């Protein structure tokens, strides 16, 4: 990621496929645990045109089991 580009947080009604190919998706819980998430397995489970809000509703933290993590989107390194 270039130093001038900052990560952003897409709205809940944004569709996952819009960010799947050119961005890195990070799920972060309220306790600061984070994990990179991959769009393809999520799309297989929830459908191809799934919204970010639906993804957030289905995810839990891998360490503390907190629900509804924040999805952070940043550009993939080249």
pLDDT 10s digits, 23-52: 999 999 999 999 999 999 999 999 989 999
pLDDT confidence of residue 3: 46
pLDDT band at 21 (very low <50, low <70, confident <90, very high): confident
For the stretch 31-46, what's the b/e string if a residue is b when 16 or more beta carbons lie within 10 angstroms of its beta carbon? eeebeebebeebbeee
Query: Does residue 1 belong to any structural domain of this protein?
Result: no
pLDDT of residue 1 exceeding 70, the answer is: no
Q: Is the pTM of this model over 0.85?
A: no
The total of structural domains in the chain comes to 1
Query: Does residue 9 belong to any structural domain of this protein?
Result: no
The range of the structural domain enclosing residue 38 comes to 17-75
Give the C-alpha distances (Å, rounded to integers) separating 28 from 49, 65, 78. Answer: 22, 12, 23
Helix residue spans in 21-74 (DSSP H): 39-46, 52-58
């Amino acid at each position: 990621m270039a130093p001038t580009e900052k990560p952003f947080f897409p709205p809940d009604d944004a569709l996952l496929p819009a960010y799947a190919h050119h961005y890195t998706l990070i799920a972060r819980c309220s306790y600061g645990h984070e994990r990179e998430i991959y769009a393809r397995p999520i799309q297989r489970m929830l459908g191809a045109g799934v919204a970010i809000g639906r993804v957030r509703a289905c995810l839990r933290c891998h360490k503390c089991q907190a629900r509804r993590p924040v999805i952070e989107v940043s550009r993939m390194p080249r």
